[in-house]
Amino acid sequence: MRLIVGLGNPGPKYEETRHNVGFMLVDAVARAFNIRFERLGRRALWGSGVIASEEVILVKPLTFMNLSGGVVREFCERYNVPAGSVVVAFDDCDLPQGRIRLRKSGGSGGHRGVGSIIECIESAEFPRIRLGIGRPKYGELNDYVLRPLAPDEKEALQDMLQRGVASVETLLKEGIESAMNKFNR
């Protein structure tokens, strides 16, 4: 079983922001593979299904991004999912807008949501799908990531999400190394 986690912030205020592209990817995966979300208390939206002959649970923590680790730990414990079977999708301002980069494992790279997961599951040995949002040309990074995408950015976002869905399927079918070779260009 695989746990596929998208990071973001809950609520309509954050729905269309750059910081929520992890949620957007998990939503796109759910649509592509006909997986419906169910609510689990107030801590997560989740749904289960099958992708590439593998059982998956899609999770969107509702605790705000920087506290996502506790939710991921709960799902890992409840469904006996080891750290290496968790896949985390999140925004990355160090990648140009629209780029995808998969990693087998590693540190948080300064991303507090990823840092929370590493701390709570006591491991950094899980695959990640980094979704490029770029950096602001001017202004503060916090304002930039929490601002809605501009209309001219939405086409690049849709393309990135399609490639993200394909990367998830490849990762599950062929493994992380194959997915990295195909999508880290």
Residue 181 pLDDT > 90: yes
* pLDDT value for 175: 96
**CATH 1.10.1740.10 holds for 2-183:** no
Residue 40 pLDDT > 80: no
* pLDDT value for 27: 98
* Pair 21, 138: CB distance under 8 Å: no
Residue 182 pLDDT > 80: yes
Q: Which residues contact 112 (CB under 8 A, 6 or more apart)?
A: 65, 66
Q: Which residues contact 15 (CB under 8 A, 6 or more apart)?
A: none
Residue 149 pLDDT > 80: yes
Check if 111 is active-site. no
Does the global pTM surpass 0.85?
yes
Between the CA of residue 89 and those of 86, 95, 152, 179, what are the distances in Å? 10, 14, 23, 14
How many CA atoms, within 13 angstroms, populate the side-chain half-sphere of residue 25?
32
Residue in 2, 18, 19, 163 annotated catalytic: 19
Domain range list for the chain: 2-183
Residue 142 pLDDT > 90: no
Average pLDDT over residues 179-185: 94
Rounded to an integer, what distance in angstroms lies between the CA atom of residue 92 and that of residue 25? Answer: 13
- pLDDT band at 39, cuts 50/70/90? confident
Average pLDDT taken over every residue of the chain: 95
* pLDDT value for 137: 85
Residue 179 pLDDT > 90: yes
